[in-house]
Amino acid sequence: DTAVSQTPKYLVTQMGNDKSIKCEQNLGHDTMYWYKQDSKKFLKIMFSYNNKELIINETVPNRFSPKSPDKAHLNLHINSLELGDSAVYFCASSPGGGGAGTQYFGPGTRLTVL
Amino acid sequence: EDQVTQSPEALRLQEGESSSLNCSYTVSGLRGLFWYRQDPGKGPEFLFTLYSAGEEKEKERLKATLTKKESFLHITAPKPEDSATYLCAVRRDYKLSFGAGTTVTVRA
């Protein structure tokens, strides 16, 4: 009964390929997020959806496209992968409103672009 | 832009040796300061939320405090299982801005 799950855990691919990462939460939360953690361990917000509506879209290349088919799922699709996309990507969820800072993170997806 | 600076970058402690981690921040319209713990190969895990200067929260050997410009995470008599990276974050609207973290290693 994992709260926030991500698949796959590891992703190794060639430059120029397109890949997707899936995220699901069973906490009943309204809000979901995608973060990127680089090699220096710095965690940076990329996107956030609240009830399937995009509410945060940081300065991210448009090769990255989030999709939220329903409140429990937030997927991340990446086109034309580049070497600099190598990182660990975390999905998170939180209650809406005042609880939005208490975020529950998934285990991460380590993406390696060769 | 919101800024969160954590110090030191790394901290090596002997078991039982108490210490403090610092998180200084600059944010307009602060809606909370958050502490998370991250173990290697895992996602961050929520520890505390602080909302106003003077507020304190405790959990086992950890105690978090908040002033208008910084927060401290005090680790009292740490054990090896307290070894982790501790992340501080500030919230504005739905957005959390994280610091780079302090990696704590506790030796037995």
* B99 to chain A: closest CA residue: A42
Q: Do the chains contact at A103 and B101, CB–CB below 8 Å?
A: no
- Residue A2: pLDDT band by 50, 70, 90 thresholds? confident
Q: Do the chains contact at B46 and A103, CB–CB below 8 Å?
A: yes
* CB hemisphere CA count around B42 (13 angstroms): 12
Work out the minimum CA distance from B42 to partner chain A, whole angstroms.
Answer: 5
Looking at every residue in chain A, the average pLDDT score rounds to 92
Question: What span, in angstroms and rounded, lies between the C-alpha atoms of B26 and A22?
Answer: 34
Which pLDDT belongs to residue A99? 65
Q: Do the chains contact at A90 and B98, CB–CB below 8 Å?
A: no
What are the residues facing A47 on neighbouring strands?
A34, A57
Over its length of 108 residues, how does chain B's per-residue pLDDT go in tens digits? 788 999 999 999 999 999 999 999 998 877 899 999 999 999 999 999 999 999 999 999 999 999 989 999 999 999 999 999 999 999 887 788 999 999 999 999
Return left, alpha or beta for A55; rule: phi > 0 is left, psi -120 to 50 is alpha, else beta.
alpha
Task: List, in order, residues 6 or more apart from A99 with CB less than 8 Å away.
Answer: none
